[in-house]
Amino acid sequence: MSFRYTKKYKIFTWPIAFACSLVFFWGCKQKEKDQLKLSAQYQAIFKQTLIIHDKYNPDSAQKYIDAAFREIKSPTLNERLNRLGFHYAVMFTTKKDFLKARIYADSILNLINKNGGQQKYPGFYANCRLSLGDAAFELKDYNTAYQNFFIGYQIGKNQLDRRVTSEFLYRMGMVTFKQGHYALAVKYFKESLGLIKSTNDTFVTFYRNQELMDNIGIAFFRLNKPDSAMAYYNHALHYITSNSYRFPEKADLTPVAQAVIYGNQADVYIKKKDYNSAIPLLKKSIAINSIKHHDNNDALVNMVKLADVYGRNNRTDSMKIELDTIKHKLSAISNGDVKANWYRLMSEYYSLNNKHAEAFDYLKKYNSLKDSLDENNRLLREANVTEQLTNFDKERQITLLKTNYRIQRTYLLLAVMFIIMSLVIAFLIYRNWQRSKHDFKVVKMLNHEINEQKASLQHTLDKLNDSSREKDRILHTVAHDLRNPLGGISALSNMMVNDTNCNDEQKEFIGIIKESADNSLELINELFEAADLVLDDTRKQLVDINTLVNNSIELLKFKAAEKNQHIVLSHNNTPLYLLINREKIWRVISNLIINAIKFSPAGTNIFVSIDESPVNATIAVKDNGIGIPDHMQTKVFNMFTEAKRPGTMGEKSFGLGLSISKQIVEAHNGKIWFENNPQGGTTFLISIDKPVA
């Protein structure tokens, strides 16, 4: 069975100019398109770039556009975006270098964020998330792909049109299908189809509609519901027959789509062991897609199915003819899975003819190639784990630097205290000497005693420093030895949960392991946060609190989405600058929003607002959660408080977050408090003074 995520790149011959324009204009509002009009100078450069790409090669085109771009004295935002978009389109569409394509998409996203971001350019921002998700999907990094598609979907359903939302739902369905969540894939495909089914005015929409119907059928087939699958296959064929007449200029593409569906229908009959019905469908599909410029790869897959059916019916002569044809096709089309299955079928053919030596030889080749394909997938998964472990190591190094800074600051304070103490002693000695020479002996005696005390104090201080250094060494050793394994356990268990080879009981045990690892990591992080509360005034800067809160919400939307919650932000569009430590206040805001998510039921809203008065700014986080009982209200801001409870879905709570937040806010000369809402839930508020003009 062939799944058709990449069919749009294979069936349609899209020019590179059109692929490049998709990075910017797909789903954009007219106002945004007007802002991205190109100058005459750049239009000439881009036109020549396309000519070079079509006549020579993409490398020459990329070098030309970069060299010509450097000659533009003051390129506009739209010209900078268009150049990066061209590189992305070449890497994704022409070279199929999806890793470099993702790098260019990241550059586009950074450029948009520096010039107003999602608020100013929602369409461009959504397009960029689409490009990032497509590149990640092709790299089989499905988690990253889903995150980008989900962000784009949230933007699309709130700010853009139905087609944009449908496109993201379609891609979310593709990701969940690849991850084996077929029921969820059906849900996304149906929602996508429902949004665009009535807007069938273009060929692209027509083709996407029939593809969604076919994909729903494939997902039902994977759910072991062959009758439902066949119903959608028939529905898709009827839809193609009823609408293809409207697009005579694309008449050559209609049989390609029908041929793919014929092959999928054959899968249903093969599952039911109705081989007589499957064979003519496979032959019809192969005949259509074996034509030049049709989907030859799909034809090759169906040839494998047909050879397999012949083998099951002991039609060895027909099986050998089909296998010889596949061998010839493989010389022109590279497909590792098809080649592996060809080795397997050749082994079965020789086994049916009692030629066991030849059968064993082909079986070894099949196992070797299959192991190689599986190893490539395993290395890809390990690459993701290695990247996560690298990030954990960087976090550990940052924590170590912060700890060294705190130690150095402590030594400096002790030195200052020692100097002050010495000055006080000298002053006392001088004053007593002035009063009376008779008292000199007494002063001398006292000075001797003080020196002894100082020596004893120094000895004690040395022991304390040694103990402190030993404690720090042990702490960092434990952090290093625990964080990386726990992070690895969490990442590996996350992948194992998505492994379709695990049964429900194994997935439940793996889920318990992942939850325990995540809880341990969260406790270690909160202990480090509790130790890192020294606020350096030199790190304070003027920060737009609206942007800071908005960024924090963007990062936490995924956590809220896990409980089907929505975070609603309300504030004036005018920037509101406060003199704060960005990292510390961001930590406070994130703590309050995470608590609201944790203690709110699934499916509810969390409201975040920013208000200002002439003298201060107030940030409020309101939830409809479980509230705070009266007997706990005086303890919620205590360190290691007893007023800690599990979240509405059993989330762990360690009782450190609010204490840390209170100390940070008070270090900014601010105030933090909470109010129980009459209708249920709690509102936490932060008040920070505005800087003096």
What is the C-alpha to C-alpha distance for residues 624 and 626, in angstroms, rounded to an integer?
7
Is the CB of residue 533 less than 8 Å from the CB of residue 663?
A: yes
What is the C-alpha to C-alpha distance for residues 179 and 169, in angstroms, rounded to an integer?
15
Taking residues 327-337, report their average pLDDT: 84
> How far from 449 is each of 155, 420, 440, 442, 456, CA to CA, in Å?
74, 18, 14, 11, 10
pLDDT computed for residue 605 by the predictor: 92
Strands annotated E in 29-158? none
pLDDT at 674 over 50: yes
Residue 435's contacts (CB-CB under 8 Å, 6 or more residues apart) are none
pLDDT in tens, 351-370: 889 988 888 888 888 888 88
What is the C-alpha to C-alpha distance for residues 674 and 677, in angstroms, rounded to an integer?
10
Between 261 and 159, the higher pLDDT residue: 261
For the chain, give the number of residues: 693
Taking residues 231-235, report their average pLDDT: 95
> How far from 180 is each of 97, 253, 428, 691, CA to CA, in Å?
26, 29, 81, 54
Q: Quickly tell me which residue has 């059968």 as its tokens.
A: 359
What is the C-alpha to C-alpha distance for residues 443 and 449, in angstroms, rounded to an integer?
10
Give the containing element (helix H, strand E) for 93: none
Q: Are strands 605-612 and 566-570 parallel, antiparallel or unpaired?
A: parallel
Residue 572's contacts (CB-CB under 8 Å, 6 or more residues apart) are 546, 610, 612
The top-scoring range by mean pLDDT among 272-286, 324-338, 404-418 is 272-286
Q: Which of 164, 178, 276, 166 is nearest to 218 (CA)?
A: 178
605 forms bridges with which residues in the sheet?
A: 566
Between 439 and 356, the higher pLDDT residue: 356
Half-sphere exposure of 319 (CA within 13 A, CB side): 22
pLDDT at 641 over 70: no
pLDDT at 552 over 50: yes
Q: ∠ CA 668-670-672 to the nearest 5 degrees?
A: 125
> How far from 676 is each of 144, 333, 585, 680, 682, CA to CA, in Å?
38, 67, 23, 7, 4
What is the C-alpha to C-alpha distance for residues 222 and 267, in angstroms, rounded to an integer?
11
Phi, psi of 300 (to 5 degrees): -65, -40
What is the C-alpha to C-alpha distance for residues 301 and 311, in angstroms, rounded to an integer?
16
What is the C-alpha to C-alpha distance for residues 609 and 546, in angstroms, rounded to an integer?
9
Q: How far apart are the first and last CA of the chain?
A: 68
Share of the chain above pLDDT 70, in %: 79
Taking residues 667-679, report their average pLDDT: 89
What is the C-alpha to C-alpha distance for residues 6 and 295, in angstroms, rounded to an integer?
11
Is the CB of residue 120 less than 8 Å from the CB of residue 31?
A: no
Is the CB of residue 465 less than 8 Å from the CB of residue 458?
A: no
pLDDT computed for residue 277 by the predictor: 93
Is the CB of residue 370 less than 8 Å from the CB of residue 484?
A: no
pLDDT at 467 over 80: no
pLDDT computed for residue 652 by the predictor: 63
Residue 301's contacts (CB-CB under 8 Å, 6 or more residues apart) are 1, 2, 263, 335, 338
pLDDT at 387 over 60: no
Phi, psi of 656 (to 5 degrees): -110, -30
Quickly count: other Cβ atoms within 10 Å of residue 54's Cβ: 13
Quickly count: other Cβ atoms within 10 Å of residue 392's Cβ: 17
> How far from 565 is each of 146, 181, 657, CA to CA, in Å?
18, 21, 21
What is the C-alpha to C-alpha distance for residues 46 and 24, in angstroms, rounded to an integer?
15
> How far from 353 is each of 311, 339, 348, 350, CA to CA, in Å?
11, 21, 9, 5
687 forms bridges with which residues in the sheet?
A: 618, 671
pLDDT in tens, 198-219: 655 788 888 889 999 999 999 9
578 forms bridges with which residues in the sheet?
A: 543
Taking residues 546-558, report their average pLDDT: 89
pLDDT computed for residue 334 by the predictor: 81
Q: ∠ CA 300-319-237 to the nearest 5 degrees?
A: 45
Average of per-residue pLDDT values in the chain: 81
Q: Tokens for 117?
A: 């971001």
pLDDT at 392 over 70: no
Burial 410-447 (b: 16+ CB within 10 A, else e): eeeeeeeeeeeeeeeeeeebeebeeeeeeeeeebeeee
Sign, CA torsion 446/452/454/456 = negative
pLDDT computed for residue 273 by the predictor: 92
What confidence tier does 70 reach under pLDDT thresholds 50, 70, 90?
very high
Helices and strands in the chain: count of H runs, count of E runs: 25, 7
Alpha-carbon Rg for the chain, nearest whole angstrom, is 33
pLDDT computed for residue 441 by the predictor: 78
What is the C-alpha to C-alpha distance for residues 8 and 135, in angstroms, rounded to an integer?
15
pLDDT at 567 over 70: yes
pLDDT computed for residue 640 by the predictor: 58
pLDDT computed for residue 555 by the predictor: 85
